[in-house]
Chains A and B, each alone.
Chain A
Amino acid sequence: MSKIIVMTSGKGGVGKTTSSAAFATGLALRGFKTVVIDFDVGLRNLDLVMGCERRVVFDFINVINGEAKLNQALIKDKRIENLYILPTSQTRDKDALTREGVEKVLNELSKDFDYILCDSPAGIERGALMSLYFADHAIIVTNPEVSSVRDSDRILGVLNSRSRRAEQGLEPVTQQLLLTRYDPERVEKGEMLKVDDVLEILAIPLLGVIPESQAVLRASNVGMPVILDEVSNAGLAYSDAVGRFLGEDIEHRFVTPQKKGLFSRLLRRSA
């Protein structure tokens, strides 16, 4: 019985795809058979972040339309056992996503996989709705700024009213917050919202805080999920978040500025 996770945010550019790639990789590293699906039809990016863009032949929409078999479209990750990517179409639009089609594909995947991770597009329209409709768990990706928080709040409302679990009166979709691009120094200066400010408005449990890091852009550009960068704070923070998702009790780190003493500066430089 597989669990369906949606990575969503409402707002664009907050790090959904980065987080999806990192999270799926983290789950696979811990031995769970995981597939990550790109729901951003027409703006295909997940394949780039996962570094498999040159191996895409068939995609999610081909499978929905019955033009290809699921195992023709699934791409097996070359680095990690148990990790698969289902890329989307760059030439179609979100109307290609039908509820019946998505359900058929998810049902087929759930026979083989422990976790199905749906990478939602921005917005609250069809693509986003389809990606969250069948979810059991939702990870809300939010940046520490007011517009992102408001959009996350909106998407939480959508999850509570328009997901399958809500419509059928089942147990609600569990919701956790992943606060990304967090810069403790700017928070200290009052330029960014504090973790507590965000939690006060969204009122959902905190899954992790991912610090702003050069490593994220670097990893995306070379097509490597940042969680594989084991010396970066961002990579470590994602790894912690995956652990917490699986029920481990891990203390939050990277939420306060690192002390800028001479000693730590020297240490940093050598790192």
Chain B
Amino acid sequence: MSSASQVAERDVPFQLRGNSFTMMVLKVFAPTSPNFFTQLNVKVRQAPNFFHNAPVVLDFDDLPESIVFDLGAFVAQVQALHLLPVGFQGGPQPVREAAMAVGLTPMPSGRAAKLEEVVKAPDPRQPDQQTPIPAPQVLIEVVHRPTLVVTEPVRSGMRVYAEKTDLIVTSSVSPGAELLADGNIHVYGALRGRALAGFSGDTNARIFCHSLEAEVLSVAGNYRVSEDIGSDFYKKAVQVFLRDGVLSMDLLKTA
């Protein structure tokens, strides 16, 4: 246990670890289309905070073999919309070589990892009817962001943040601990600390807990302190959500 091997380990100046990251995939069908960047810009503007400096993987799988285009200029234009191309997948050999030359990383085609398509492209038929030019298809797939699951007790002074996703705690949350999630919060133990769901403003987020003994509850900035929680809900299984913009609580019916 003690002794030389550990000392040796601690002398290493770094640690190499595997990790997985969630990225968007930009499927490129017609990079030379004059409408490509106009439409991409429209898409990005729908959720500027979400897309700002978001890493994207360019998917060239559906490009025709014979396509010729300036990949360097294409990447620069994507960057101009504050998206950060970091890698690519698929595509004809010349495109792949050009992509490597501009510093993009070849990604293994992780087809199975793409679970759901969250953002759909604007209905292409509408522009079709207005203009004779066939609309280029821009499809952004948001890869499913896994829920953060915590199985250990969350102790006083600890802070857990589930960024852009839900948080599930299968143990208890102590007084003085803080749970934050951009999505929903589930606590399958006693919730004695603070729980802030919809931390980035999602008013549809909810808090679910097995035994409500919380210090503070909040959904999208609407909060309630333990003094205001009321004895009807104390130590009960409860869900907390916004009803017409007001923080509300319901007992969970347990079978």
Contact = CB atoms under 8 A, between A and B. Distances in A.
A complexed with B = yes
Interface of A: 1-4, 103, 106-107, 110, 136, 150-151, 153-154, 156-158, 160-161, 168, 200-201, 203
B235 to A, nearest CB: 12
B90 interface: no
Interface string B162-188: 000000000110111100000000000
B131 interface: no
Given A157-B157, A168-B9, A203-B153, A150 B3 contact: no
Contact of B155 (A1, A106, A136, A157): A157
A3 B2 CA distance: 9
Contact of A107 (B3, B172, B177): B3
Interface of B: 1-3, 7, 9-10, 152-158, 171-172, 174-177, 190, 192
Most buried by A among B154, B155, B158: B155
A157 B171 contact: no
24 contacts: A1-B1, A1-B2, A3-B1, A103-B10, A106-B2, A107-B3, A110-B2, A110-B3, A150-B156, A150-B175, A153-B155, A153-B156, A153-B174, A153-B175, A156-B155, A157-B154, A157-B177, A158-B157, A160-B152, A160-B155, A161-B158, A168-B10, A203-B153, A203-B172
Q: Across chains A and B, which 9 residue pairs bring their CB atoms closest together, nearest first?
A: A157-B155, A153-B156, A154-B156, A110-B2, A154-B157, A157-B158, A153-B174, A153-B155, A203-B153
Nearest to A3: B1
A150 B153 contact: no
A103 B192 CA distance: 37
A70 to B, nearest CB: 15
A8 to B, nearest CB: 14
A154 B3 contact: no
Nearest to B171: A203
Given A150-B175, A160-B152, A201-B192, A136 B157 contact: no
A151 B10 CA distance: 30
Contacts of B2: 1-2, 4, 106-107, 110
Contacts of A156: 153, 155
